[in-house]
Amino acid sequence: MSVMWNLWHGCHKISEGCRYCYVYRQDSLYDKDSRVVSRTAAFDLPLRRKRNGDYRIPSGEQVYTCFTSDFFLAEADPWRAEAWAMIRHRSDLSFIIPTKRIDRFGVALPADWGDGYPQVTIACTIENQEQLDRRLPLFKSLPIRHRLLFCAPLLGPLDFHGLLDGGIEEVSVGGESGNEARVCDYDWVLDIRRQCMEQGVPFNFHQTGARLRKDGRLYRIRREFQHSQARRAGIDYEGGESG
């Protein structure tokens, strides 16, 4: 089971992958300015209890954290220590935290972090070769217990330069959604899979995107089918011996 925990909302675009951000798209439906960053009413969600005293989020749940902003956003610096304290307190949950701001990972890091809390997975997001070359070496150098790579929205081919070793637990790939989505080429997806298999790193194709090019043909895929079509491709790889 899983739950979404958005502690704060709003963000600023910092790289090409942000151009058609789904948060901006959703906010525009309600004339909301996505650049305004504010704490949400769900800020303390992991600590909330039912009338019988049990936590509203039961033990063992996966908590997808800060998916409508960025956990390491500068505007959230005053709140992050409190957020880490809640995460530390709920060591019985599993927190997945994506970020395009891995360069700010150390800001307000808990004093007892060490090499990472065992219940926390940091997912570094990369969308093109420029951001891979910038973010991946830094990501690998940081004291993080569990690491994922989110290659989404995938905007071009990626060469990992053999850097998928050293604690990358999974590479998850997805195309871009929305009416303005840029093309995701299936050959790029397969080549990332090949690199993962060569180094024994698990691979997941989680979303086709709205425009998928395969064998020279462009497919337009409706939003409700983008995850299921990716699963139907049957190319996920569980990892193992590198070849």
pLDDT digit string (tens) for 105-154?
Answer: 999 999 999 999 999 999 999 999 999 999 999 999 999 999 999 999 99
Count Cβ atoms below 10 Å from residue 26 Cβ, excluding itself. 13
For the record, the structure tokens of 153 come out as 């929205």
For the record, the structure tokens of 240 come out as 């193992």
Separation CA 72–CA 32 (nearest Å): 22
Q: What percent of the chain has pLDDT over 70?
A: 99
Contact indicator for 92, 54 with CB cutoff of 8 Å: no
Q: State residue 26's pLDDT score.
A: 93
Q: How far is CA 55 from CA 27, 184, 242, in A?
A: 30, 41, 42
Confidence bin at 240 (pLDDT 50/70/90)? confident
Q: State residue 202's pLDDT score.
A: 97
CA-based nearest residue to 140, from 163, 112, 157: 163
Is pLDDT of 243 > 80?
no
Q: State residue 230's pLDDT score.
A: 98
Q: State residue 175's pLDDT score.
A: 98
Is pLDDT of 29 > 70?
yes
Q: How far is CA 136 from CA 129, 160, 199, in A?
A: 10, 9, 16
Looking up tokens 């909330």 gives 48
Is pLDDT of 242 > 60?
no
Confidence bin at 241 (pLDDT 50/70/90)? low
Question: Average pLDDT for residues 186-210, to the nearest whole number?
Answer: 98
pTM: 0.95
Sequence spans of domains, the chain: 1-113, 152-243
Q: What is the bridge-based pairing of β-strands 203-207 and 211-214?
A: unpaired
Is pLDDT of 33 > 80?
yes
Mean pLDDT rounded to a whole number for the chain: 96
The arrangement of strands across the sheet holding 120-126 comes to 2-5, 62-65, 94-99, 120-126, 146-151, 168-174, 203-207
